[in-house]
Amino acid sequence: MNARSLAPMIPAPTADLWTSETPTTQESAVAEAAAFKGCVSVIVPIYNEVGHLDELLQAIQASPAKKEMIIVDDGSTDGTREKLRALPHLDGLTIVFHERNCGKGAAIRTGLQYARGEYVLIQDSDLEYDPQDYPALLRPLEEGNANVVYGVRPDRPERGLRFFLGAKLLTHLTNVLYGAGIHDEATCYKVFRRSLLSSVSLECHRFEFCPEVTAKLCRLGERIQEVPVSYTPRSAGEGKKIRHSDGWLAIWTLVTLRFARKERFVQPQNSNEGTPFAATLNTASSNLNRSRPSSRHWRSLLLMMLVSLVLQIAAIGLLHTYRFRPGEDHFAFGWEMGRVARSIALGQGFSNPYGDSTGPTAWEPPLYPYLIGGVFKIAGVYSDASAWVLLIINSSFTVLTCIPIFLIANKVFGARVAAWSVWIWALLPYTMYWSIHWVWDTTLTPLLLSLIVLGSLELEDWHGWKGWAIFGALWGVAALSNPSMLSFLPFSGLWVWYRRHKRGLPSIAGVVLASAIFFACLTPWLVRNYRTFGQFVFIRDDFGLQFRLGNGPYADGILMAYLQPNMNNLEFEKFRSMGERAYTEDCKRQAFAWIRNHPQRFVAISSKRFVYYWAGVPRATGSLRIFEFGPFDFRNSLFLASSVLAILGLVLAVRRKKPGAWLFLWLVLSYPTVYYLVFPHARYRHPIEPELLIVAVFLFSETGLNATSLEVRTPRVERFSRTRFSTIAATAFLANFCMAGAGRECCGHIPMFKKILVANRGEIAVRVIRACRELGIASVAVYSDVDRASLHVRKADEAYHLGAAPAAQSYLNIDKILEVAKRTGADAIHPGYGFLSENAEFAQACADVGVKFVGPTPTAMEMMGSKTRARQAMEKAGVPLVPGASRGLESFAEAERIAAKIGFPVMLKAAAGGGGKGMRLVHAPGELKLALEAAQSEAQRSFRDSEVYIEKAMVNPRHIEMQVLADEHGNTIYLGERECSIQRRHQKVLEESPSPIVDEEMRRHMGEVAVRVAKAAGYTNAGTVEFLVDQKNNFYFLEMNTRLQVEHPVTEVITGLDLVQSQIRIAAGEKLPLMQEDVSLRGHAIECRIYAEDPDNNYFPSPGKVTLLLEPSGPGIRCDSGIYEGWTVPIDYDPLLAKLIGYATDRQQAIARLMRGLDEYFIGGIKTNISLFRRILGDSDFQAGKLDTGYLERSLARPVEHPQAGGRAEVAAIAAGLFAVLDPSLSQNSSIADGGGRIAEIQSNWKRVGRAEGLS
């Protein structure tokens, strides 16, 4: 037996077709009737002629009707079978052969056995046939078993349509289908045929039907439907006979008449017509399915939805990706949307997108913020209850999306694709992730967009006004939820109009109605915006900012989040001072100006955004860490694979001419367009993922591997199915390999670290841990005995003990740190600053055990760590140096000779030194010997290296340093300078950026030299090149710090870059996201180092318990702290507590803000140097920018003029007494009297915790 069948959708009957009755159950009969409702069974009998059969089948397939095609060979010629097997593969095609010649009438009766459609169309494929077959063809029509329409040669009209339908019925059909008003039967037939073949559309006229036609129509059925095709028959001008192809087209295009469900035709007993074989029935729903889902389908759909909802609610409680933090307006509550919702709940209206009182806003579309605000009003603002309610609402949106997915897939591709699509959507963890990840409109948008696609499909043949009204309302709600969906509106409308036009259905009135309802939905919000801002604002007005966040000097195809007002205080100040409308217009102006100046870069970045949209955004999918393992990034690999499969499925659907395929195509092409221009994100593809899922499932359904109930599978069919499936799998794999694996650099993505160990303590450890958390990287803290309760231990995801308090036994213990890294599975170590941050031995040890050191290479560190080796390398690179020796002094005589050559004063420096250790200033020759011995001795004690070199001591120079960044791909840039001249004992106390004396030309020159220094050393990661600047603004290379500097925040503030994150990204192998011309400095920043030291006792360390901590805040204030109230500052380490940064648009305002911050800063229980900074900032020389390295020494030597105390001493005494009474724990002998007069000791928290740990 032989048969070929493609893409089966409905199983073949299992009973013998030649028995007198077919056993079926009532349930299967109902299911079959529902599946084939609206389907046309096209029967093509074959009699020794297949010359034009492929053209006929293509013409039939081009019809948008739901159909099955059945070719029946009457067995007259063996050669016909071979020709039939060579036909092109088409959807829904069944071929049946007879063992011997049985005649065309028998072939048609056999075809009727296989036909399950609600309509039957018999299409002749042969020019020569036996007229005696006509009675056999008419018999099923007369008996009511089928509706038969049969086409013959167009040059024999007496044997054509009029022969079967009757002249008056043909006249009526012609006028109905083509809008004609012709009464003459012969003319009507000619008009029908000519209009069909030449696509002539006639003007519609009113036509009164005669009683005979009306009666015949009532008898035949109540509905007549046109089935147009795009098929042009052969032309006589080609030198070939037109033959019967005109007839094929005419009959197929004419009509299908709807009848009641026909009974199956029964083969007469004792028939001698031959037994058919290869009896495989396949009904592929290759065109729009007008049937409605059965009750069984709905029950299955509800089960899917219930299971999905239960799983998502469980995931909210068990697997939510953030902690509920009442009282904090964190990102999980929608960020700007959540803050606007808070204002709504508090009765402040739709306002304040950034938390402060910035007034009414149109920063977000209104629908979702009002939803959040309503929940806040009922369940509490930023409460656990409101979080649960909102996340369950999000999950409900995801679950409800199952309904349009099922209906869309069922209409376009059939019930099988629909069922699989819904099950995948309902159970896929990826879809649940967006439901529970945050409170945003990410799950509402796919629901609305799917409903719009479904509405478009329904409107194709909708009669009445309700469908148009719903369509307009859907678009109105969608626009108020997410205006980016409007990019699909014109394409959706044009598709609906075109499809209705092809069917001859009116659309103008419906379009007007839908448009009116759409604008009626928008009008209240548009009026509100006009009244609020005094100008037209279409829904939301933040496009300027969004455009700037993706296009500018730092653009690299991803979101530049640091430019957002909620993450950048300078931007927030501009937002508040300029106003919302002026600010967004300014952002748009900046973005367009950058595009005009860099058109090629804009095109390149837009291309990269296109890749990111479909292949996955680097680092943006970092929260899906569960999928990342192995050499590839499986997060983006899966993301890319889904895109590849969906695109292949869409291409296949278009090639198969699925009626909804073009609508899907326009959706995929139009919706993402706006994100190619701004910035992509994984969640921005989620709105179209229901449609992508449907076409991906369709792709797999078409492989043939999922076919069910195939009674016959020939080797040819098996090979074809395997080949097609293998091609799909290979294409997806190769795309993954090229873009997510070996070629991942072309889309800019390098797998990020999973876990980083922070080999430091204090505020810098806290700073690195926060950067890791923002990147979605787990952090590991280490601590000594005295740091068990430190802030960095509390902030980290994991914490491990190193050893005793001395640094040599803890933070300098390389073996112990690497042991912790191995135990925790950390794949990188960030050293911070100090301790091991500039230890080349430690960097090499990390490399030896396979742990990435977040910093430069050991080679570069060794070169720049030795000041003599660094000077030698810089001499070769042509870098300006301070006059002196470039190697260590071997004797006192050599020191005398060099000093005499360069002249006094001179400076002796430790070659391995830093922080002022191993340095001695020598003013006269008599001081040189003792100074040399002292410097060598201190260098040996501090650095285990007594090498000392000599250089010219500059009188009152400025100390200015240049921040550089260098990736592992050869790119190096500088990020501006920092003024570090205010020093005490050669240690920086206060830093600012930019320097008051550096202009653009000097900055460029210093930056170029700094880049030359870094490249000469083969430097990578973040580093600082330090210069000394004389009174004439000549600068000289001093040294390079191969680590992150304490003062790095001032550079972060004025450049908008996160230097710690940049360090991590560079260490992970990423390229720098910007070029030198993209770097710009904005505003001014000043940093004060807050130390636990006593200004009244020569700045000796002041350890102790922090009894009260009041940290400053407000505009232009940043505090990087490593302490908290109740923590005890140890004496074992550097006494740095925090860094207070003030920043503003200019230096004077930055000073004013920092003064205000210092006034608000209070640390009780210990002494701090806060008063020193008040003194510095208030000094006239500092405010005038008259600075050098001797400034602080001179300033401290001047007496301080204290204001008249008056009664302040008494006030202070009273305050101290009240403070002691209100907080008796401050007393050294803390005790209280209990009710019986006994003295009870107040139990220490430390003691209680210690006892609990001892018991455990």
Closest to 514 (Cα-Cα) out of 553, 477, 569, 568: 477
Least confident of 49-63, 281-295, 349-363: 281-295
Mean pLDDT of 880-895: 87
Cα angle 723-729-730, degrees, rounded to a multiple of 5:
85
Confidence of residue 915 (pLDDT cuts 50, 70, 90): low
Least confident of 556-570, 781-795, 990-1004, 1113-1127: 556-570
- pLDDT value of position 1105: 95
Least confident of 74-83, 488-497, 521-530, 1112-1121: 74-83
DSSP class of residue 971 equals -
DSSP class of residue 884 equals B
Confidence of residue 100 (pLDDT cuts 50, 70, 90): low
Half-sphere exposure of 530 (CA within 13 A, CB side): 8
Q: What tokens appear for 948 in the block?
A: 């000392």
Closest to 262 (Cα-Cα) out of 124, 164, 141, 135: 141
Confidence of residue 266 (pLDDT cuts 50, 70, 90): very low
DSSP class of residue 39 equals -
pLDDT at 830 over 90: yes
Confidence of residue 334 (pLDDT cuts 50, 70, 90): low
Rounded Cα distance between 92 and 67, Å, is 7
For residue 1031, what are the β-bridge partners?
Answer: none
- pLDDT value of position 1070: 87
Predicted confidence (pLDDT) per residue in 683-705, tens digit: 889 999 999 999 999 888 876 54
- pLDDT value of position 241: 31
Percent of the chain with pLDDT over 70: 66
How many Cβ atoms sit within 10 Å of the Cβ of residue 72?
27
Q: What tokens appear for 1243 in the block?
A: 């139990």
SS3 string, 520-585, reads: HHHHHHHHHHHHHHCCCCCCCCCHHHHHHHHCCCCCCCCCCHHHCCCCCHHHHHHHHHHCHHHHHH
- pLDDT value of position 1218: 63
pLDDT at 1104 over 70: yes
| Cα end-to-end span (Å), the chain | 79
- pLDDT value of position 1116: 94
Measured in whole angstroms, the distance separating CA 791 from the mean position of its chain's CA atoms is 33
Q: By the 8 A CB rule, do 133 and 161 touch? A: no
Phi-psi map region of 772: left, alpha, beta (phi>0 left; psi -120 to 50 alpha): alpha
Predicted confidence (pLDDT) per residue in 705-723, tens digit: 443 333 333 344 444 444 5
For residue 1078, what are the β-bridge partners?
Answer: none
- pLDDT value of position 171: 53
Confidence of residue 1198 (pLDDT cuts 50, 70, 90): confident
- pLDDT value of position 1147: 95
Q: Is 1043 a catalytic residue?
A: yes
Peptide bond into 831 cis (omega under 30): no
Confidence of residue 294 (pLDDT cuts 50, 70, 90): low
pLDDT at 168 over 70: no
Instruction: Measure Cα distances from 815 to 810, 862, 1084, 1151 in Å.
Output: 10, 20, 42, 45
Rounded Cα distance between 398 and 282, Å, is 34
Mean pLDDT of 1191-1205: 73
pLDDT at 251 over 60: no
Mean pLDDT of 223-236: 31
Least confident of 67-81, 839-853, 1098-1112, 1188-1202: 67-81
338 burial via Cβ count (<10 Å: 0-12, 13-18, 19+): buried
- pLDDT value of position 331: 46
SS3 string, 996-1063, reads: CCCCHHHHHHHHHHHHHHHHHCCCCEEEEEEEEECCCCCEEEEEEECCCCCCHHHHHHHHCCCHHHHH
- pLDDT value of position 1196: 84
Place of tokens 């009707």: 65
Top pLDDT among 689 and 167 is at: 689
- pLDDT value of position 1091: 95
Predicted confidence (pLDDT) per residue in 353-401, tens digit: 887 788 899 989 999 999 999 999 998 888 878 888 888 999 999 999 9
How many Cβ atoms sit within 10 Å of the Cβ of residue 290?
15
- pLDDT value of position 499: 84
Instruction: Tell how strand 1104-1105 and strand 1117-1121 pair up.
Output: unpaired
120 burial via Cβ count (<10 Å: 0-12, 13-18, 19+): buried
- pLDDT value of position 822: 92
- pLDDT value of position 1165: 93
How many residues are given for the chain?
Answer: 1256
Top pLDDT among 623 and 385 is at: 385
Cα angle 1110-1113-1119, degrees, rounded to a multiple of 5:
80
Instruction: State the angle between helix axes of 415-427 and 429-437 in degrees (0 to 180), rounded to the nearest 10.
Output: 50
Predicted confidence (pLDDT) per residue in 193-204, tens digit: 444 433 323 232
pLDDT at 75 over 80: no
Torsion angle defined by CA atoms of residues 710, 716, 719 and 723, in that order, rounded to the nearest 10 degrees:
-110
Q: By the 8 A CB rule, do 976 and 904 touch? A: no
Predicted confidence (pLDDT) per residue in 1123-1180, tens digit: 999 999 999 999 999 999 999 999 999 999 999 999 999 999 999 999 999 999 999 9
Top pLDDT among 182 and 311 is at: 311
Q: What tokens appear for 849 in the block?
A: 């055990």
pLDDT at 1225 over 80: no
pLDDT at 1187 over 80: yes
Q: What are phi and psi of 273, to 5 degrees?
A: -95, 0
Instruction: Tell how strand 755-758 and strand 778-784 pair up.
Output: parallel
Confidence of residue 506 (pLDDT cuts 50, 70, 90): confident
Give 902-951 as a DSSP string: H-SSEEEEETT--TTTT-EEE-SGGGHHHHHHHHHHHHHHHHS---EEEE
Least confident of 127-136, 610-619, 1117-1126, 1180-1189: 127-136
DSSP class of residue 986 equals T
Rounded Cα distance between 938 and 946, Å, is 8
Closest to 784 (Cα-Cα) out of 761, 760, 801: 801
pLDDT at 273 over 60: no
Q: By the 8 A CB rule, do 1177 and 1157 touch? A: no
Catalytic-labelled residue, pool 767, 958, 1043, 1089 = 1043
Q: By the 8 A CB rule, do 587 and 564 touch? A: no
Instruction: State the angle between helix axes of 384-400 and 402-412 in degrees (0 to 180), rounded to the nearest 10.
Output: 10
- pLDDT value of position 517: 94
pLDDT at 11 over 60: no
pTM of the full predicted structure?
0.50
44: enclosing H helix or E strand = strand 40-46
Confidence of residue 554 (pLDDT cuts 50, 70, 90): low
pLDDT at 63 over 70: no
Q: What tokens appear for 998 in the block?
A: 């550096």
Mean pLDDT, the chain, as a whole number?
75
- pLDDT value of position 983: 92
Top pLDDT among 223 and 430 is at: 430
Sign of torsion over alpha carbons 541, 543, 546, 552: negative
Rounded Cα distance between 1139 and 1085, Å, is 12
Buried b (16+ CB within 10 A) or exposed e, 1022-1052: bbbbbbbbeeeeebbbbbbbbbbbbbbbbbb
Least confident of 21-35, 288-302, 1020-1034: 21-35
pLDDT at 929 over 70: yes
Torsion angle defined by CA atoms of residues 717, 719, 721 and 723, in that order, rounded to the nearest 10 degrees:
-150
Q: What tokens appear for 626 in the block?
A: 């569960």
Q: What tokens appear for 445 in the block?
A: 């948008």
Confidence of residue 598 (pLDDT cuts 50, 70, 90): confident
Top pLDDT among 1064 and 355 is at: 1064
Say which residues have a Cβ less than 8 Å from residue 198's Cβ, sequence separation at least 6. none
- pLDDT value of position 474: 94
Q: Is 1198 helix (H, G, I), strand (E, B) or coil?
A: coil
Measured in whole angstroms, the distance separating CA 107 from the mean position of its chain's CA atoms is 58
Give 678-728 as a DSSP string: S---HHHHGGGHHHHHHHHHHHHHTTSTT--S-S---HHHHHHHHHHHHHH
Q: What tokens appear for 469 in the block?
A: 């009204």
User: What domains lie within the chain, and their CATH numbers?
Assistant: 1-149+255-279 (no CATH), 166-244 (no CATH), 294-439 (no CATH), 441-540 (no CATH), 615-747 (no CATH), 755-854 (3.40.50.20), 883-953 (3.30.1490.20), 954-1082 (3.30.470.20), 1092-1200 (3.30.470.20), 1218-1256 (no CATH)
Peptide bond into 905 cis (omega under 30): yes
Q: By the 8 A CB rule, do 358 and 403 touch? A: no
- pLDDT value of position 981: 94
The sheet carrying 755-758 orders its strands as: 798-803, 778-784, 755-758, 828-830, 852-853
- pLDDT value of position 973: 94
- pLDDT value of position 968: 81
Instruction: Measure Cα distances from 1177 to 433, 985, 1099, 1172 in Å.
Output: 51, 19, 18, 9
Q: What are phi and psi of 699, to 5 degrees?
A: -60, -45
Q: By the 8 A CB rule, do 1042 and 1023 touch? A: yes
